[in-house]
Structure 1
């Protein structure tokens, strides 16, 4: 059975594809999650995260931009942006411990993103929690 971390990792992949212009990916969520063996409660969790992030994208993006020291949203890599978007959705809209959300985002950025990503993700999410 898939873990929440695996569900989050799948959501990051979906958000990445969405960010790159594949807005129709939502039609294939069930198939993609099934292919990754994300089922039952974890599938519900993944769908809630993906749909919630997309529905609140404008607010989430504004939150990211408001905490950037320099640059714009477009300067952030797509993988890092997807990780941040998911984590900020969880921080703002889900009733989960903030430390758990931040830790998951850092671990996923270590696995999926560039070398500097964990520090960047940690710093930005820390600002979001403290705001």
Structure 2
């Protein structure tokens, strides 16, 4: 696995867990980054399973109170189907948590830590500029309404494009790969569309 891809994933998973203080971010050890990433995944798994359990309960209640009306049965099946998908997503994220220390060990640790911290420092210190650009690029949507993981994928990609010298296409492709792993199909398409509008806006600004 490429060190930068590993670093990007590590930054994504630890972003919400670490202090925004630049000096504190720069002093983080690899073990701290891994633990922060595992805490994020554990939290995501717990929240997803809670939602799945609620969907199962709603579907069960709908079936129990139904008088076998087709609409009620169909609704209950949809709820149970959603619950199964959510449970599968939770299992996938739990699997990632188990694999995380292994794939970090396989990479060049110094390079992984250095780039992960560079991403974290950039996103934290340039948060206002990054969020302003993302807000401009969104159509009929608000950044704070996005799932946390989708929001952080967008922030990392924009931070890399604006401040870390990563070309548009590779940055978007890497963000989409992260979305495939940590978001859903709708989130992946949304992230791809927003980032393409971001790059168009940046090109327009550079010409003026």
1:120 aligned partner: 190
Residue segments in structure 1 that go unaligned for 5+ positions in a row: none
TM-score normalised per structure 2: 0.55
Shift in Å, 1:58: 0.6
Give the 3 Å change call, closer, same or farther, for CA 85–68 of structure 1 in structure 2. same
Shift in Å, 1:42: 1.8
- Say which is worse superposed, 111-120 or 28-37, in terms of deviation: 28-37
1:81-114: CA deviations, max 9, x gaps? 0000000001111222211110000010010112
Structure with the higher fraction of residues in helix conformation: 2
CA RMSD between the two structures:
2.3
- Structure 1 segments of 4+ aligned residues over 6 angstroms from their partners: none
Shift in Å, 1:32: 2.5
Residue segments in structure 2 that go unaligned for 5+ positions in a row: 36-100, 202-208
1:12 aligned partner: 12
CA distance in 2, matches of 1:89, 1:27: 17
Aligned residues between the structures? 128
